[in-house]
């Protein structure tokens, strides 16, 4: 039962353009969402988060949008840079179980020159 889904396993974007990574969830009890970035042979690092009481959070080139009615969130990277090439994981927390994060399957982003 995959509660957090990232349906695009990979995405290729030209440098300078916008990258949009999508994430869908099924659990209406999720109240906090996070994006992590992972390079090969390294642990994931926190990128940006959003609470369910908001619909947008921005941090520099990274913006996360949350559509609760559609149970959908997206990560926008503008402009994309080659160093952004990595695997991106969406994660969510259920307010009833604050100790655990549920991760999606990840999307591999490649930014080419």
Partner 1 sequence: SQTIHQWPATLVQPVGSPLSLECTVEGTSNPNLYWYRQAAGRGLQLLFYSVGIGQISSEVPQNLSASRPQDRQFILSSKKLLLSDSGFYLCAWSAGQGVGYTFGSGTRLTVV
Q: Which residues bind partner 1 (CB under 8 A)?
A: 4, 6, 32, 34, 36, 41-46, 49, 89, 91, 93, 95, 98-106
Least distance (Å) between residue 22 CB and partner 1: 14
Contacts of 36 (CB under 8 A, 6+ apart): 44, 45, 46, 47, 88, 89, 91, 103
Which one-letter DSSP state was computed for residue 70?
Answer: T
Nearer to partner 1, 15 or 105 (CB): 105
Least distance (Å) between residue 84 CB and partner 1: 19
| Cα dihedral 93, 11, 84, 43 sign | positive
Nearer to partner 1, 18 or 97 (CB): 97
């Amino acid at each position: 039962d995959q509660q957090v889904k990232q349906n695009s396993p990979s995405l290729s974007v030209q440098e300078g353009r916008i990258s949009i990574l999508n994430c869908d969830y099924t659990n209406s009890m999720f109240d906090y969402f996070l994006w992590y970035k992972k390079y090969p042979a390294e642990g994931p690092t926190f990128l940006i988060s959003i609470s369910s009481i908001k619909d947008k959070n921005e941090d520099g080139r990274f913006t996360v949008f949350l559509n609760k009615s559609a149970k959908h969130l997206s990560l926008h990277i503008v402009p994309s840079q080659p160093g952004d090439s990595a695997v991106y994981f969406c994660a969510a927390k259920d307010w009833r179980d604050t100790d655990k994060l549920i991760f999606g399957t990840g999307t591999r982003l490649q930014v080419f020159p």
